[in-house]
């Protein structure tokens, strides 16, 4: 399967713990995005990479959040000292270069539950 792959699909963690999610984009896509979706809402933009460079971070991304994309391939999103408000679906998407940048293809998401 050559779609966007996210792992794990589900994560339950205790408040205060750190969690890390992984995203493997479609191989020829150089743009990678992270979005967060809470119940009853559409996805909200968190951050975006072009190749290995992180070019924008939303104000939703507090200091407890960090994202990396080493070598411009897979990406990781880490949340430190998780809070109950972090419970959400974390979605990764990728797209081709600027001419088709807004046609984003999403992974299946990682559902985070903080207890």
Partner 1 sequence: TQLLEQSPQFLSIQEGENLTVYCNSSSVFSSLQWYRQEPGEGPVLLVTVVTGGEVKKLKRLTFQFGDARKDSSLHITAAQPGDTGLYLCAGGWGDYKLSFGAGTTVTVRA
Interface positions with partner 1 (CB under 8 A): 4, 6, 31, 33, 35, 40-45, 48, 50, 55-56, 91, 93, 98, 101-109, 111
CB of 104 to partner 1, least distance (A): 6
Rounded to a whole number of angstroms, the minimum distance from the CB of residue 23 to partner 1 is 11
| Smallest distance, partner 1 to C-beta of residue 107, A | 5
Integer Rg of the chain from CA: 13
Nearer to partner 1, 66 or 108 (CB): 108
Angstrom distances, CA of residue 36 to CA of 2, 27, 97, 99, 112: 22, 22, 22, 24, 10
- In this structure, the strands spanning 19-24 and 44-50 are unpaired
């Amino acid at each position: 399967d050559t779609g966007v792959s996210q792992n794990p699909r589900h994560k339950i963690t205790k408040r205060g713990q750190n969690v890390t999610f992984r995203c493997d984009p479609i191989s020829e896509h150089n743009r990678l995005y992270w979005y967060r979706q809470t119940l009853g809402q559409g996805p909200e933009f968190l951050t975006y990479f072009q190749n290995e460079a992180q070019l924008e971070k939303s104000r939703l991304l507090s200091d407890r959040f960090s994202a990396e994309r080493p070598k411009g391939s897979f990406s990781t999103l880490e949340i430190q000292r998780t809070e109950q408000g972090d419970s959400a679906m974390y979605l990764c998407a990728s797209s081709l270069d600027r001419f088709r940048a807004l046609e984003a293809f999403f992974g299946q998401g990682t559902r985070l539950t903080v207890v």
